[in-house]
Amino acid sequence: MSVRRSSDGTGWWAAKVRQFATHLHPRERPAERRDLDAWLSPAQQELFASMHPADRRHGLDVVRRLRAEGWVDGDVLLAGLFHDAGKGRTGLWPRVAWSLAERYGSLPRRAAALLPGFRAALDRLDRHPEASAELALRAGCPARTADLIRHQAAPADAAGEALHRADEAS
C-alpha cells in the first residue's frame, strides 16, 4: 500500500471531512435520479439502487466532477458512478480507519483490525476495486469501465487519472 501525501494535506482532510458528513446524511436529488434513468440500463439502475446511500451520493459527486472537467465518455462516467459499488454495507468507522491507513501507512489499519468486526470490513474495503469492477461487468458495463474501476488507485491513462482526481476531490 502506498502512502499519499500532499504538501500540506489540507485538501485531503477537507475531502475526507466532506465524505464523513455525506456518509452521515447522504441525499440524492430527484433530478439526479431522473438523469441516471436516462443513461443507465435497467441492470445498472439496479446496481446503483443496491449501493450504500453514501456510495451512491459519492458516485454522483464523482460523475459531476468528471463532467465539470469535460468528460462525456460513458465508460468513464460509469466508472465514476460504480467505482465503490463493492464496498457494500461497510460501516463508517472501518472506512475512516481504511482512509487513514491509505494516507499514513498500515498502523491505523492494523490497530483497527483488532476491533470486533473491523477485520472483515477492512478486507472488503481492500478488495472493493475488484469487487466493484465485477459488479459493474455483471450490470452490463463495458470492460473498459471495469478496468478503470479495477485500477482506480493506480491509473494507467488520462481517463483513469481523471477518475482518481474526481474520486479524491469528492
CA-to-CA distance for 117 and 15, rounded, in angstroms? 26
Q: Which residue has the cell 471495469?
A: 146
CA-to-CA distance for 101 and 106, rounded, in angstroms? 5
* 97 touches 109 (CB < 8 A): yes
Name the DSSP class of 139.
T
Give residue 14's pLDDT: 83
Give residue 9's pLDDT: 60
Give residue 101's pLDDT: 92
Give residue 4's pLDDT: 44
* 94 touches 121 (CB < 8 A): yes
The H-or-E segment that residue 43 falls in is: helix 42-50
Across the chain, which has 170 residues, the per-10-residue mean pLDDT values are 47 82 84 92 97 95 97 98 95 91 91 92 95 98 98 95 93
pTM of the shown model = 0.87
Give residue 13's pLDDT: 82
The DSSP annotation for 47-88 comes to HHHHS-HHHHHHHHHHHHHHHHTT---HHHHHHHHHTTGGGT
